[in-house]
Amino acid sequence: MDKNTVRDALLDHAQTLLMTRGYNGFSFRDLSELVGVKTSSIHYYFPTKEDLALEAVNAYSADVMSTIYAIDSSAPADKKLDRYTKLFGRIIGDGNQICLCGMLASDIESLPEKVRHAVQSFYKANETWLAKVLAEGEAQDTLDAGGKPEAAARTLYAAFQGSLLACRLFQTRSRLEEVADAFRR
The stretch 19-48 carries a mean pLDDT of 95
- The confidence band for 126, taking pLDDT boundaries of 50, 70 and 90, is very high
- CA–CA separation, 87 and 179 (whole Å): 13
Domain assignment present for 124:
yes
- CA–CA separation, 37 and 60 (whole Å): 23
Asked if residue 127 lies in contact with residue 65, where contact means CB atoms within 8 angstroms, the answer is no
Domain assignment present for 72:
yes
pLDDT in tens, 69-120: 999 999 999 999 999 998 888 887 766 788 999 999 999 999 999 999 999 9
Alpha-carbon radius of gyration of the chain: 18
Domain assignment present for 141:
yes
Domain assignment present for 99:
yes
Residue 46 class from Cβ within 10 Å (0-12 exposed, 13-18 middle, 19+ buried)?
Answer: buried
Q: Where are the alpha helices (DSSP H) in 141-170?
A: 149-170
CATH code of the domain covering residue 134: 1.10.357.10
Domain assignment present for 8:
no
Domain count along the chain: 1
- Mean pLDDT, rounded, of the chain: 92
High-pLDDT (> 70) share of the chain, %:
97
* 3-state SS assignment for residue 184: strand
Residue 83: its H or E element: helix 77-92
| Structural domain boundaries, residue 116 | 55-181
Residue 4 has pLDDT above 80, yes or no: no
Domain assignment present for 48:
no
Domain assignment present for 6:
no
pTM score, two decimals? 0.91
